[in-house]
Chains A and B, each alone.
Chain A
Amino acid sequence: MTSLRVGVAGALVVVALVLQVAVFPHVAWEGVVPDFCLLVVVAAALVRGPEFAAALGFFAGLMLDLAPPADHVAGRWALALVVVGYVAGLMRQDTRTPATTVVATVAASSFVGTSVYALSGIVLGEPVGSFGDLTRVILVALLWDVLLTPLVLPGVMRLLARLEPASAR
């Protein structure tokens, strides 16, 4: 069961990554695409809590850092998504998560994720663009993520909840 759970979560991340780099750039606003990987990590956090989500965030971030066409210092998205997994995991509730909480968590996670990524770039001396571009990217990414939440999160959360071990419910 554990291996199935890990396999499904991994497959979700791979699908998210392909959507993010190969499909959605065609409808992107100035190159900003929805963070599907981040949405999967947030869904995992709301269903399974911070521990699982942070580990999944590390895996998803590593994929984003290494899969082509990425060319930044590896570990930057990994760090951003580990933080997202942890923060979003703190919002998990034992009962069914209300829709408003889900949307608020996605919005906060998107802001935190892109900001942590940009900050790590500033620390490492990698290019992050001007302040205006930076804020615009963060805001547009947040808008994208919130817009896609009703389409992505319910399905992913239901899938992950079905695979949850009975003892943890």
Chain B
Amino acid sequence: MPRRPDAFDERAARSRLRSRMIALVLACLTLMTLDHHPGPGSPLEPARDAMGSVFGPVESGTSSAIRPVTAIGNWFTTRRRMQDDIAELQSENSRLKAQQATSQYQRNQLAEYQGLTSAADTLRQALVPAHVVAYGPAQSFSRTVTIDAGSAAGVAPDQTVLNDDGLVGRVLRVTRTTATVLLIVDTESVVGGRVGASMKVGFLTGRGGLGDHGTLELQLVDQAAAPAEGDTVVTWGSKDGAPYVSGVPIGRVTAVYASLRESSQRAVISPYVDFGALDLVGVVVPSGTHSDRGLIEADGTLR
């Protein structure tokens, strides 16, 4: 005969709950301690790799299934933004309207690929084309995305990621089919930059920021120099092009202010890339890399 639960059972259940909660919280704290410095040295990196190889294909699949739907949304936001300076863009607008009548989505994609091809041509670098398939939520306070090209496509950590507007970020880690990219607007991202007008070099740090309002902060190495508003900033480049190749446009100076404490000039850079609507990007790879997909070579040809 089943016994009715009595006070003793209840107390036992409560102490079991308490010990389980303590165990779970301790497990979380252990994880945080083990992973205190995320990156290649972390003991949790194999687990990240494994999760990446399982979730990467799922994210790619989901993203390609919904891409035709989301492309409609992109087109509408593009149009809304154009209406701000309608006089200047009237001709372009009518062209877009004509495109809507035809196959809007394929045309947009073609234009994007053409943009990427010309970017490869200008920079004299080979690019692996890839789509952004997953975004880190703003709740996580870091700006990272997943792209659908991995080691099988020739992508490796510390390679530059760009699109036809400019610099997007760098590759943090790769699995066979996907890669995680740190966007340049993340607060942990630092890029060496060069002001186009004065050739002065400096460092650009991400300022976080939500949505497409991400901005960067530029501090010049030569503290006496001040960039002017409207100056363009391009990447300075590092040895062997890792993590950033040189000459990729980053953004435009929108404000300059003096930091009294450090007696230096700082500038706010508005990036050329719209981080709220990332889709097709290119990863800079050494020319002649073996890849499982078409590679855009330095002379703009597809291989």
Contact = CB atoms under 8 A, between A and B. Distances in A.
23 contacts: A18-B58, A22-B58, A22-B134, A25-B135, A26-B66, A26-B73, A28-B138, A30-B138, A30-B210, A30-B276, A31-B135, A51-B16, A54-B21, A54-B24, A58-B24, A66-B48, A68-B48, A68-B55, A71-B38, A82-B25, A127-B141, A127-B188, A133-B209
A8 interface: no
A79 interface: yes
Contact of B139 (A14, A68, A82, A117): A117
A126 B146 contact: no
Given A30-B276, A32-B138, A68-B175, 11 more contacts: A17-B55, A21-B135, A58-B24, A58-B28, A67-B52, A68-B180, A74-B35, A82-B25, A126-B141, A133-B208, A137-B141
A17 B52 CA distance: 13
Given A22-B134, A58-B24, A69-B146, A75 B31 contact: yes
A152 interface: no
A70 B59 CA distance: 13
B230 interface: no
Given A51-B16, A74-B38, A74-B44, A137 B138 contact: yes
B163 interface: no
A71 B142 contact: yes
A127 B52 contact: no
A10 interface: no
Among A31, A58, A70, A121: residue with most chain B CB under 10 A = A31
Among A50, A67, A128: residue with most chain B CB under 10 A = A67
B126 interface: no
A69 B144 contact: yes
Interface in A1-56: 14, 17-18, 20-23, 25-33, 35, 50-51, 54-55
A82 B28 contact: yes
Nearest to A66: B51
A138 B189 CA distance: 24
A57 B28 CA distance: 11
A130 B208 CA distance: 9
Contacts of B180: 68-69, 71
A132 to B, nearest CB: 10
Contacts of B208: 127, 129-130, 133
A114 interface: yes
A74 B141 contact: no
Contact of B137 (A25, A50, A58): A25
A162 interface: no
B63 interface: yes
A118 interface: yes
Contacts of A63: 51
B31 A21 contact: no
Interface in B1-43: 16-17, 20-21, 24-25, 27-32, 34-36, 38
Interface in A65-94: 65-79, 82, 86
Given A68-B59, A74-B31, A137 B24 contact: no
Interface string B59-79: 100110010001001000000
The 7 lowest CB-CB distance pairs between A and B, nearest first, are: A75-B31, A30-B211, A31-B138, A25-B135, A79-B28, A30-B210, A127-B187
Contacts of A18: 55, 58-59, 62
Given A26-B70, A66-B47, A68-B178, A75 B146 contact: no
Contacts of A136: 210
A79 B187 CA distance: 23
B175 A133 contact: no
Among B32, B51, B186, B276: residue with most chain A CB under 10 A = B32
Among B20, B28, B34, B213: residue with most chain A CB under 10 A = B28
Interface string B120-151: 00000000000001111111111011100000
A78 B133 CA distance: 24
B45 to A, nearest CB: 10
Contacts of A86: 21
A17 B145 CA distance: 14
B228 interface: no
Contacts of A120: 32
A58 B27 contact: yes
